[in-house]
Amino acid sequence: MISFIEHNMYLKHKMPNILESPRRLQVIKKALTTAGIYNHPEVKVLTPEPIEETALKDIHSDQLIELIKHGSMIGDVAITADTIIGEHTFSAALLAVAGTKLAAEEALKEGNTFAFAFVRPPGHHATRTNAMGFCFFNNVAFTANYLLKMKKAKRVMIFDFDNHYGNGTADLFYNRSDILKASIHANPNYSFPFQGRVYEIGEKDGEGYNICIPLPLQAGDLEALHAFDKFIVPIAREYKPEILLVSAGYDGLREDPYGHLSYSTFGFQVLSERIKKLAEELCGGKVIYSLEGGYKFKELGEAVLASISPFLKDFDYAKEPEKKLLSGGNISEYKETLQALRKILKPFWRLD
Ligand SMILES: [Zn+2]
């Protein structure tokens, strides 16, 4: 069975004039419903219970937790220009953490493999002490830490395919080797949070365990898939995670208003096929996706559907849109990035 995690509260968190809005989940739900996914015999929908506030202290400062809580009591408080606390934000953010945790617990059950947490607000920019970039608490980071703490896994891998580097996740585990962080994102010279360069590889015990692959502006599916094959796959094989947690952001879609890449919906399907295959090879197929970004409403639902399709038996989504991969961006910049990355990572991993 595969599990979808949903909750009405995810639709109640709102930030005025920001595209990280309830509409995102509505277009996803519509695309899945239209495709008949909710009637698929292997799909079940689950609703999480909130986690205890105190559990958040495992990854977030008291000050941040209090800030979001008090902000919600006041309502409509901007902590940065694009991170605004509304009356439901604290409840929704607690449930987004809980939803991602539930996805992992479900995926780890015998007979299950894949789960998708359709959560809002997203989480990968939230650091220990700061909310930013539409993120308040770090859903995937909490879950990774929880699995290790509860001894449900010894090695966890987080793979982030959002257009933007998951600086919060990296910050939280920068000196830890029990969580491998790997991200393919847009060139941080131009793209928020302006971090995620090849040399940001982690520190102390975590040195070599934070993999940053920045792509040139407007790079496409071809570049992301190539980077995945050349770096993510061999590193994951050597690391041998027991579960794969994916920060699933769809703002790399071509013409996303907040993105700088040019992925196609079909590209998300092919990437998911490879993620699934890798998880099957390394960790019994145990993989979860937790929703991060994605703001191009016209194609967001299609992209999510495409990325889910490999996990559904007898469901070939690619028959619908054009089966074309996109490529783009400055090729010499891309090649230089890979060359630099290979040199930096060679002491830590066996790479060709
Ligand atoms: Zn993003």
Tens of pLDDT, residues 133-169: 999 999 999 999 999 999 999 999 999 999 999 999 9
d(CA 217, ligand 1 centre) in Å: 14
Kindly calculate the radius of gyration of the chain based on its CA atoms and give it in whole angstroms: 18
If you ran DSSP here, which 8-state letter would residue 19 be given?
A: S
For residue 213, name the pLDDT band (cuts at 50, 70, 90): very high
For residue 319, name the pLDDT band (cuts at 50, 70, 90): low
Query: What is the pLDDT, as a whole number, of residue 321?
Result: 56
User: pLDDT digits over 68-113, tens only?
Assistant: 999 999 999 999 999 999 999 999 999 999 999 999 999 999 999 9
User: Angle 38-255-33 (CA atoms, 0-180°, nearest 5)?
Assistant: 10
d(CA 252, ligand 1 centre) in Å: 8
d(CA 251, ligand 1 centre) in Å: 5
d(CA 164, ligand 1 centre) in Å: 4
φ/ψ of 120, rounded to 5, equals: -145, 145
- Hey, what long-range contacts does 29-36 have (CB within 8 A, 24 or more apart)? 29/118, 29/301, 30/301, 31/300, 31/301, 31/302, 31/304, 31/305, 32/4, 32/301, 32/304, 32/305, 32/308, 35/305, 35/315, 35/317
For residue 318, name the pLDDT band (cuts at 50, 70, 90): low
Look at residue 352 and tell me whether its pLDDT is greater than 90: no
If you ran DSSP here, which 8-state letter would residue 173 be given?
A: T
For residue 330, name the pLDDT band (cuts at 50, 70, 90): very high
Q: What's the whole-number mean pLDDT along residues 201-206?
A: 98
Look at residue 320 and tell me whether its pLDDT is greater than 80: no
Residue range 2-345 in CATH 3.40.800.20:
yes
d(CA 194, ligand 1 centre) in Å: 12
- Non-local CB neighbours of 39 within 8 Å, separated by 6+ positions: none
Query: What is the pLDDT, as a whole number, of residue 317?
Result: 76
Q: What's the whole-number mean pLDDT along residues 42-65?
A: 97
Give the span between the Cα atoms of 142 and 302, in whole angstroms.
Answer: 28
User: pLDDT digits over 18-41, tens only?
Assistant: 999 999 999 999 999 999 999 999
Q: Is 255 exposed, middle or buried (0-12, 13-18, 19+ CB in 10 A)?
A: exposed
Q: What's the whole-number mean pLDDT along residues 251-267?
A: 97
Please tell me the pTM assigned to this model: 0.98
- Non-local CB neighbours of 277 within 8 Å, separated by 6+ positions: none
Residue 130 neighbours by CB distance under 10 Å? 21
Catalytic residues: 125
Q: What's the whole-number mean pLDDT along residues 174-195?
A: 98
d(CA 111, ligand 1 centre) in Å: 32
d(CA 313, ligand 1 centre) in Å: 29
d(CA 161, ligand 1 centre) in Å: 9
- Asked whether the beta carbons of 280 and 274 are under 8 A apart, the reply is no
For residue 314, name the pLDDT band (cuts at 50, 70, 90): confident
